[in-house]
Structure 1
Amino acid sequence: MLRRPPADGDQVLIAAPEIEGFATPAGSGWSMDTARHVGLAFTVEERN
């Protein structure tokens, strides 16, 4: 979702979108189950 409309001539990445901001671990940040699958949990705070 776009937070504001792009200006004329701005680039918009559609095929390879990116998230810009600060990643903060949520809870313990990671977990591993009995099958040794690793799960990551985090939130992203947008830059102003």
Structure 2
Amino acid sequence: MVEYLERIETDLLKSALVTKNYNQTRAARDLGISRSGLIKKLKRRVC
């Protein structure tokens, strides 16, 4: 179950970044998290 949720989160992160042309600030805003929060999540996963 945890792996499934992590995969979903990873897919959401990738999708937000692609949609916003890899602009981290805009992707984070779309996800409703801070830019630093996005960066922390990205560091936990190699996207």
TM-score, with normalisation over the residues of structure 2?
0.20
Task: Select the structure with the greater relative contact order (CA < 8 A; seq sep ≥ 6).
Answer: 1
Higher helix share: 2
